[in-house]
Structure 1
Amino acid sequence: MGYKIPGAAMDRVSLLWRLRRRARRGALCMAFFGIAMTLLYALCAENSVTVTDAIFGVRARTRAQPRTRAVVKVLRGGSKLAYMDPQKLPGVVPGDPRLPIPVLSSPNHTREHQPAKPKSKEDRGFFARVLPRPLVRALDTVFGGRRRGQLSDKGGLASNGLLGKVWNEHMSSSMLGRRLKKVFNNYQAMNKYEVKLPDAPGSPRRRVLSGPELLCQLYQKVALSTLTADLPPFSSLPWASQLPPKPLASDVGPFKSCAVVSSAGSLRDAGLGKEIDSHDAVLRFNSAPTDGYEKDVGSKTTIRLINSQVMASDDHHFLSSSLYSSGVLVAWDPAPYSANLTQWLNRTDYPIFSQYQRYRRLHPQQPFFILHPRFFWQVWRQIQDNMPEPIQKNPPSSGMLGTVLMMSLCDVVHVYEFLPSRRNTALCHYYQQFHDDACTLGAYHPLLYEKNLVKRMNQGSDDDIFNRGRVTLPGYSSLNCNTTHAG
């Protein structure tokens, strides 16, 4: 007969076994909890705006009213801070950097916005009824797909998705996801620049122009214009002599072949550096660097187009960085739609003129021009006139302005990654770790409609767009509009 364990000892063994089992279960639960928290941290660090908005809503993010100068992005893998242009963030309006960011998630009372009806509990599903709302939103963001017929808010612009192989020139605001639709409607209601169109809401729709007709219309109705020393009211100012004596088009160029290099994240690993540098002139934007990215974006910079926020922000080191001290500089600042130059001089978005004077004192020999606000509002009007729906009542993007600028100076213009290629990504800039579909689809700028227009005017092939991210446009000097009806 085998040895029999006494009852008291058996109780002790059983208790020890139960404690060990509970300890193992506890350790396993803690491990799963740690993995879940790590994944959530990685998602939030990679795409803070999208995930935070999806879980807590836009209003929660904007309720604290952070200051524009404090909008930064923490790079993954360290505590180094990288400046993030607030103008590129959805739901942020450019303005005085000392003022707080406006809350764009407030209710929109215009007729265009119809609040969605709340779903009944029966339609929400079991987990939606049982789990807390923030957790449901998080699960939907991580595991859920976009609604049919909508562009994702999470960064899923795959080449075989809604966009098709190349950009669909009939894109509209109805195809946007819920978050970007809300931002779009808020900008429409805000109308910061007091845009007033003479066309009545019920006016008959214009016929759709062909690519050649659009090009001729752009040529006939948009003229590149910059400030000069003899232009009132600047001619009477003490620093008038710092302005160029001639406009940009008379002092720079003409060029045969030009490249407009966007700052899109899809340029990363593009390998287009040699092709870009082979052009006679290359235009770049804002603080986009070339050092360390030569293989993808090249190293040549002929013209750099910068907005006034870059000039005013201490984070960009505009007055001291060597990034801006070579080539031709062209700056611009949004002005009210119908404002004259005197009104604009007293009501700039950012202190462009004081920074211009400081820079000119440091670099008196470098060509430095300021765009006339008439130029970019003329571009905006052509975009609006050729779209079947109202676009954002904000100035065009730097990318669109730079493209039209180079069409005025070059025989042929190649624009890289303005229309997304097969490398399409939600990464905003090739030199920063920040992801948001707004950088492709537009928030503040009417990017969606700009891309529609450029796609229609493109004279290259769809394969060029898909494989190289390259659009080919003729310069004004190459157009023959005598026999072309411009509409």
Structure 2
Amino acid sequence: MMFRRGIFFCGILLCGCITFYAILDMLLIASTFNSAKYLHKLKRELPCQLKRNVPFSTITREQASKDGNKTVLPEYSLENMVHFNSCAVVSSSHTLRFHTYGQEIDSHDAVLRFNCAPTDKFEKFVGNRTDFRLINTRIPEKSCTDEFWSDNSTMFKHETIIIRNLDAINLKRQTINVKHDRYRAFANLIKYRKTYPNRTLPFIQRPKFGHAILTELQRFCVTSRMCAKSRLSPSSGMLGVVMMMHLCDWVHVYELVPSNKDDTKLVYYFDEKKTWPARREHSYGQERAYVKTLSMTPENDIEESGVVLLKGLSQTPCV
């Protein structure tokens, strides 16, 4: 009898274990299903949230109509002047040296590059064309000084320059407010116009454009729990991606979200010495999580290629 009871007791335990693991499997399947369902919903809603929360424009002459230097500003905002089907956003990442995307990049309708990133001697990796160049306010005061001012330099000469704007250049009572313009970006813009009067007028992103992106990234991290909220400023790359999503139907982003090809600590494709500092200056973690969620490219493909395909905001119907 004791023996039989022992068998009966073990059977109950065994059934309990089987039931426990079956329930655990069911919960895991349900959790995976709910996670996939949530991600699908997030991917569907995020473009409209970006479109609504971060509108794009550039400072126009009319907005600064009472400023004595208003003539250095374009008459119209950039998004009212151009629109493209297919665009390339080319990061400055060292990982681009592990691909040969040159011809592919040049085949797009418009190509955006950043700061001082060259094409000469790197055409195989990054292409040759540059239609737009987004520069930070440290140029030319602290970097790219020779390239910016030299008439012999091909960089900047035949490109449309756009100055990224976190909070350096603002508007106040229809004049330009440079209270926070620590690197004299607007003063250099005036000098640039006087030095090269026949070149295309540079554009300045609207005031607080960068701050609007940071707020949107932080909102995304808090609500989705897919990244840690950061107060670090967004990179020029992120400002460029959002800008081109407003200007293009399709945006191909090269190595902003890195592939798994590069195991070095080098930063730029054109510099074999500069390595990543211990402390990062920008909110890369937030940016990558956000762009991957916007992406139409499967994550496994991004890890292999470093190329992200984004649908332009003009292609996104929002209520």
TM-score, normalization by structure 1: 0.52
Pair 1:260–1:478, CA change in 2 (3 A):
same
Give the equivalent residue in structure 2 for 1:117: none
Report the AA paired with residue 247 of structure 1.
S
Output the CA distance in 1 between the equivalents of 2:61 and 2:216.
29
The answer to whether structure 1 residue 369 and structure 2 residue 203 are counterparts is yes
Report the AA paired with residue 302 of structure 2.
I
Output the CA distance in 2 between the equivalents of 1:332 and 1:344.
15
Output the CA distance in 2 between the equivalents of 1:438 and 1:475.
33
Match of 1:325, SS?
coil
CA contact (8 A) 1:226 1:370 kept: yes
Match of 2:88, SS?
strand
Alpha-carbon RMSD: 2.2
CA contact (8 A) 1:334 1:348 kept: no
Report the AA paired with residue 444 of structure 1.
E
Give the equivalent residue in structure 1 for 2:179: 346
Give the equivalent residue in structure 1 for 2:309: 472
What's the CA shift for 1:393?
A: 2.7
Match of 1:228, SS?
coil
Please list every run of 5 or more consecutive structure 1 residues that lacks an aligned counterpart in the other structure. 1-206, 483-487
Match of 1:310, SS?
coil
Give the equivalent residue in structure 2 for 1:380: 214
Give the equivalent residue in structure 1 for 2:79: 249
Match of 1:283, SS?
strand
Give the equivalent residue in structure 2 for 1:428: 267
Pair 1:315–1:259, CA change in 2 (3 A):
closer
What's the CA shift for 1:334?
A: 3.5
CA contact (8 A) 2:165 2:208 kept: no
Give the equivalent residue in structure 2 for 1:462: 299
Give deviations 1:232-266, integer Å, cap 9, x for gaps: xx322221111001001012x21000000000000
Match of 2:149, SS?
coil
What's the CA shift for 1:319?
A: 1.8
Please list every run of 5 or more consecutive structure 2 residues that lacks an aligned counterpart in the other structure. 1-37
TM-score, normalization by structure 2: 0.78
Give deviations 1:143-175, integer Å, cap 9, x for gaps: xxxxxxxxxxxxxxxxxxxxxxxxxxxxxxxxx
CA contact (8 A) 1:319 1:358 kept: no
Match of 1:312, SS?
coil
Report the AA paired with residue 270 of structure 2.
Y
The answer to whether structure 1 residue 237 and structure 2 residue 67 are counterparts is yes
The answer to whether structure 1 residue 413 and structure 2 residue 251 are counterparts is yes
CA contact (8 A) 1:262 1:416 kept: yes
Output the CA distance in 1 between the equivalents of 2:285 and 2:53.
21
Give the equivalent residue in structure 2 for 1:360: 193
Pair 1:410–1:291, CA change in 2 (3 A):
same
CA contact (8 A) 1:325 1:363 kept: no
What's the CA shift for 1:480?
A: 2.3
Report the AA paired with residue 74 of structure 2.
P
Output the CA distance in 2 between the equivalents of 1:358 and 1:340.
19
Give the equivalent residue in structure 2 for 1:279: 108
Give the equivalent residue in structure 2 for 1:445: 282
Report the AA paired with residue 283 of structure 1.
L
CA contact (8 A) 1:255 1:281 kept: yes
Name which of 133, 139, 145 aligns with 1:304.
133
Output the CA distance in 1 between the equivalents of 2:145 and 2:97.
21
Give the equivalent residue in structure 2 for 1:173: none
Q: What percentage of residue pairs aligned between the two structures are identical?
A: 37
Pair 1:210–1:249, CA change in 2 (3 A):
same
Match of 2:139, SS?
helix
Give the equivalent residue in structure 2 for 1:190: none
Match of 1:408, SS?
helix
Report the AA paired with residue 208 of structure 2.
R
The answer to whether structure 1 residue 334 and structure 2 residue 172 are counterparts is no
Alignment of 1:52-451 (within 5 A): 210-231=42-63, 234-251=64-81, 253-313=82-142, 315-317=144-146, 318-320=148-150, 321-335=153-167, 341-342=171-172, 344-364=177-197, 365-388=199-222, 391-424=229-262, 425-438=264-277, 443-451=280-288
Pair 1:330–1:340, CA change in 2 (3 A):
closer
Report the AA paired with residue 253 of structure 2.
V
What's the CA shift for 1:270?
A: 1.1
What's the CA shift for 1:340?
A: 5.6
